Amino acid sequence: MKLRVLLLAGLMAGASGAARANELPPNTGEEAVRKADVAGGVQHHESRKPLVNVTVTAYVSNRKEKVATTDAAGNYAFDDLKPGTYKFVFEKPGYRKVERTKTIARADEAAELNVSMEEHSTYDFTPGPAHFFDFQ
């Protein structure tokens, strides 16, 4: 009788441990990078604070492939990208546009692409029509 009780207790303890081994850990940023083909963060160039609502567009062969937007932590991710060379364009009103190129060699390969963005200066120079003529 004691043997049966010990066997039953051992089976229950083993089943409990096996169930716990199959539980997934809480979602972390590292997990998102492993699952996504390309993931990363966008931050302010000077303050290093995350930038929210940055539009990230993935282009392949000058054709728009996918679009993502950064979340409250400044993170974005692209899933299911086919192998190839991609141009990633980061845009947010009030900030300079940033372009980066990344090559995805295999479909199961994950890559991290972090970017910092600068605010537009109030003194950005844009040439006007008179700039191209000499009025001497």
Question: pLDDT category, 1, cuts 50, 70, 90?
Answer: low
Both tokens assigned to 43: 């931050």
Phi, psi of 36 (to 5 degrees): -85, 155
Nearest to 68 by CA among 45, 100, 41: 41
Residue 134, pLDDT score? 61
Nearest to 112 by CA among 87, 75, 71: 75
Q: 36-121 — its CATH code?
A: 2.60.40.1120
Mean pLDDT, range 74-85, rounded to an integer: 92
- Listed by start position, the domains of the chain span 36-121
Q: What is the mean pLDDT of the chain?
A: 77
Q: How is residue 49 annotated by DSSP?
A: P
Question: pLDDT category, 82, cuts 50, 70, 90?
Answer: confident
